[in-house]
Structure 1
Amino acid sequence: MSVIANGQVSDLWAAMADGIGELTFLSSEWVDVASDVLDGLVATRADGLSGEKFTFCEVAHNPPAYLRVGGKLAWNVTFDGGSVMVSEGELEASACDFKLEGEHAILSNMARLQFKGRDPKVVAAAQARLGKLGRWEFVGKGPENPLLGAVLRGLHDAMAVQTMPRFTFMTPEWVHCARQILTTRAEKYADRIKDVVFTFSEEFTDTPAYAFPDGSHGGFWVQCDHGNLTVGAGPLPTAMEPADMLTKGMYTPIVPVGRTVNAAMTEDDQAEQAEYSKAAFRFDKVLNRRPVEQTQPSGRGPMPSELGVIFMPLHDELSKRTANELPCDFDDSLKAEWSAPPRFDRDPDYDTSWLNYDKVDIYGNAR
C-alpha cells in the first residue's frame, strides 16, 4: 500500500502515531523528553539491567535549517548497571556498541512509526519504504538483552507521538499535516467561523518526478462551509471551482519560500529571501506571466478575518514539518534562478548524498 502522488492512501500515516507531533527529532527539547522517558523505563527494569552496559548513538544529517544547528543533530545513550545516561552530540564509532546515521527527514518519519496498536505488516511496509529513500550507515548491532530491547521499543513508541514528521513540500502526506493543523484550529474557533463560506486553493504545476511520479500537480485546498472545514490534497476539484483565493504556478521556485519558518528568520534571511524572490518570480516573457500568481477567481473578495485566524500559524507549522530537499538536487536542467539552494533556505553543510531521489521516488519506487 503506497501513495502515488495525489492518491489518498498512505502506508506511513497508517503506521504512524496519532497527531503530528510537536518536537523536532533529536532537538534539545526532544532529547530532554526522551531522557525523562528512558529514566522511567529503566527504573521499572533496573534489576534486569543491572549487569548491562550498552552505548548507542544516532546521527541525523540535514536537520531543519531554521534550527541553525549545522549539518547534523545527534544524541547518545549509555546503559550501565541499571542506570542510563543521555547526552546530546555524536560519539566516535569506537565508543559505541551501535551507531546509526541517516537523513533527518527520513529518520524523523521512522521515529513516528508506532508499534503498539498498529498492524505489524503496515509498520513493516512503512519501514521498508523509508529504508529505500536514503543512505544509511550502521556500526555494531543492537542489544542482545531482551529487557533492554523492550526499553528501547518502549522509548520509540513513547517518542513517536512527540516527534514531528517531515514530508516533501505539497505532497499528499504533507497535506495531511495541514489538515491536522487547520481542522484542530477550526474546532477551537468553531463559533467564529460558523457563518463563513470560503474556498482556498494552492496548486503547483511542473512538479518533480521524484515527488509526483504520476505527473500530477501538487498543492492543497480548503473549503469552509458554515464552519465545516474540508482539506484536500492536489488541485481543487472542478466541481468546487471557482476558488475564492487561488495561488497557482510552478512548483520549483515556490519551495524555498514555501517552507521558511518566519518566526525564526533573521534580517539577513529576509533580505536574502527578497533577493531570491525578485529573481525567481520575475515576469517570464516566454510564458507571458509570472511563475506563480495569486488571484481571486470568484470575485468574492479576500479571506474573511475569522477564517484567517484559523490559517494564521499554518505556514510556520507546516514549514517545521517539511523536508529539506530541492528539485535542483536531482535535476540539472532547471533555469539558473532555480538551480542553486538559496542561502536562507538551507545550511551550507547540507549533504544531498543522504537521499536517494536520483534512484527512487519518495514512495520507494525505482525511477
Structure 2
Amino acid sequence: MSDTDYLDRLVDDDALGSYLTAELGPVDSFSVERHAAGHSNETLFVTWGDRELVIRRPPPGETADTAHDVLREYRVVDALGDTDVPVPRTLRACDDHDVIGSDFYLMERTAGDVLRDEEPERFADPVARERVGAELVDTLAAIHAVDYESIGLGEFGRPAGYTARQVDRWTAQLDWAFETTETVREVPELVAVGEWLADNVPESHSETLVHGDFKLDNVMYGPGTPPEVVAVFDWELSTLGDPLADLGWLLLFWYDEGDPDPAMPELMSTFTARDGYPTRDELVARYESSTGREFTGERFYRALAAYKMAALGEMFLARHLNDDSDDALYPKMETQVPTLAARALAYVEGDTDRL
C-alpha cells in the first residue's frame, strides 16, 4: 500500500476542508500530512491558512475493543488545559464519521523537539541531559498530583482495582491479537508472564490520574535551553488508577549503560546511557522524593510494562497481517515480541535483573 493510498484511508480532504471551514472559517490554503513517527493512533499535521494544527484519529480497520479511543483522549487533554501539566490547546472534537471516517479531535500544534531516536544538539552536554531526566520525572509527578475531581475527571475511571484490571485488559488484548498472529507463530513465554502477573498483583495501590503511555518520546521539549517539557502527548490510555504503573512504563523505555540491546530497537532508544542522563535508579529516587510515594513492587510494575508493550506489539502485528496498516515497524513484531517476552519471563523468574 502506498503512502498516498494509506493517507486516503485516513482523511477525505474535501470533507475535512468543509468541516474546518464551518468551524474555523475559510482560508486560502489547506494541506494535510501524516506524521509517520507514531505507531498507534494516527497523527495528521494540518496547515489551515497560517495556522498549524494537529488531528488525532484511530487507525483504519478493525481494532481491539476499547483501543484507540480518541474522544476519551480529547476529554483528558481538554480538562488538563488549566493545570500544571503541559498539554496542547484543544480546539474541537468530532464524532461525525462523515468527515474523515472516524472520531477525531483537533488541537493546536506545539513547537519543540521530541527526543525519540537522538538528542538535539543543544542538549548534548551532561548538565542539559540531567535536566532532561529531571523534567521528565517532574512532569510525571505533576500528572499524578492533579486533583482530577476538580477538573471534571472524577468519573474518568475506576481507580480501585486498576492494576488487576490492567492485567486482565492486556490479556484480553493479546487474545484478540493471537486470533490472527497464531497463524505465523506462537509466544508461550508471553502467556507465562501474564499468568505470573495475575498471581502477583499488588493488594492495594494509590489512586491518581495516570497517563498510561508516559515515556521520553511522548513529551515535547521546548525549542530553547535549559530543557523544559512543553507538552505531553498520546493520552489515549489515560484513566484513573495506579501511578506506579506509569513509572514502570517509563523505566521500560529508559536505557542504562550495561543494558542488553533493546528488544524493540525502533521503539527503545539507547542514547540515555550517555554521560549526564540519570539512571533508572536516579529517576525512581527523584520520583519518590517529588511525590512522597515509594516504588514498591518494582518487579511487578516493570514486568507489567513489558507485558503491555509485548501486547501492543502483537496488536501491531495483527493489524499488519489484516492489512490495516502500512507501518514498516509492524511486521518486525513477529520476532521482536518473542524476544521481549523471553526477557520478561526471565526477569520475573529471577534469572536476570534487566529486561
TM-score w.r.t. structure 2 length? 0.30
| Bigger Rg over Cα | 1
Question: Larger % of helix: which?
Answer: 2
Question: Larger % of strand: which?
Answer: 1
